[in-house]
A and B are shown apart, each in its own frame.
Chain A
């Protein structure tokens, strides 16, 4: 299954996103940002491509998503 990387501006935003996704039961994994992508904070959240809408919805307005990119 293809994965997406959800990128954030800060580690704190990634941590908040972890908490929100846990609450919503969206499967995810905190991983380092792949070298081919770039973000300010070095860690991102990996989700299944199928869960993109659910994840974006769960994060809502509570945490700013910098970008969502396909993972190589």
Chain B
């Protein structure tokens, strides 16, 4: 018997949070939602965790049967805390020590993110990191692929302004420090690159 999560009538991100929580305690759950956005978000969460999803629609209610698989991140205890996984790209390079090597690593890293099943829910680009998400960036296609896969992309507006790149943002949205601080502080996990 599957554990039932009745998220009908609840506003996002509540259905997602309840789903994540239920998945950490149960290997098979059924989630009921009556909102298209909630349905998509729950489905995306399950997919991002490597779970299998069967979906059915009964009138205005979506029923998602989610089964943790062998590769399910929750089953491996990778993601255990509630709240989104937030990745902060705070530099145009990855790591400190050598900028040329850092450029190689950042390209390799962002491309890898598009290929593996563990995805962040949000990526914040700030300081010189915003240069990764603008037109002409060599990794813009990867950033776009993440956005297309449902990852929220936030680019620091102050930073884009400082570099004169506001008009060149190629993926995601121009964000402000309120959003950025809130996203960081409500993250389930914060990964700083």
State whether these chains interact. Answer: yes
- Interface residues, chain A, CB within 8 Å of chain B? 11, 14-15, 29-32, 42-43
Q: Which of B100, B101, B104 contacts A30 (CB 8 A)?
A: B104
Name the CB-closest residue of B to A35.
B115
Which among B101, B104, B112 has the highest number of chain A CB atoms within 10 Å?
B104
7 pairs from A and B in contact (CB 8 Å cutoff): A29-B107, A29-B141, A30-B138, A31-B107, A31-B108, A32-B111, A43-B104
Shortest CB–CB separation between residue B109 and chain A, in angstroms?
Answer: 8
Find A42's partner among B100, B108, B141 (CB 8 Å cutoff). B108
Residues of A within 8 A of B108 (CB): 30-32, 42-43
Q: Which residues of A contact B111 (CB under 8 A)?
A: 29, 31-32
Seen from chain B, the residues whose Cβ lies within 8 Å of a Cβ on chain A are: 100-101, 104, 107-108, 111-112, 138, 141
A11 and B104: CB pair below 8 A? yes
Contact yes or no, A15 B107, CB < 8 A: no
Residues of chain B within 8 A of A29, CB atoms compared? 107, 111, 138, 141
Residue of B nearest to A42 (CB): B108
Q: Is the interface of B mostly helix, strand, loop or mixed?
A: helix
- Sample of 19 more A-B contacts, CB < 8 Å, known A11-B101, A31-B107, A32-B111: A11-B104, A14-B104, A15-B100, A15-B104, A29-B107, A29-B111, A29-B138, A29-B141, A30-B104, A30-B107, A30-B108, A31-B108, A31-B111, A32-B108, A32-B112, A42-B108, A43-B104, A43-B107, A43-B108
Q: Chain B residues near A11 (CB, 8 Å)?
A: 101, 104
Please, which residues of chain B bring their CB within 8 A of the CB of A30? Answer: 104, 107-108, 138
Residues of B within 8 A of A42 (CB): 108
Cα distance, A31 to B82, chains bound together (Å): 32
Chain B residue at minimal CB-CB distance from A44: B108
Rounded to whole angstroms, the CA-CA distance of A23 and B107 in the bound complex is 19
**Interchain nearest-CB distance for B58 vs A (Å):** 40
**Alpha-carbon distance A16/B133, docked complex (angstroms):** 24
Tell me the smallest distance from the CB of A63 to a CB of chain B, in Å. 15
Minimum Cβ distance to chain A for residue B143 (Å): 13
Cβ-closest chain B residue relative to A12: B100
> Which 10 A-B pairs have CB atoms at the shortest separation, nearest pair first?
A32-B108, A31-B111, A30-B107, A43-B108, A32-B112, A43-B104, A11-B104, A32-B111, A30-B104, A15-B100
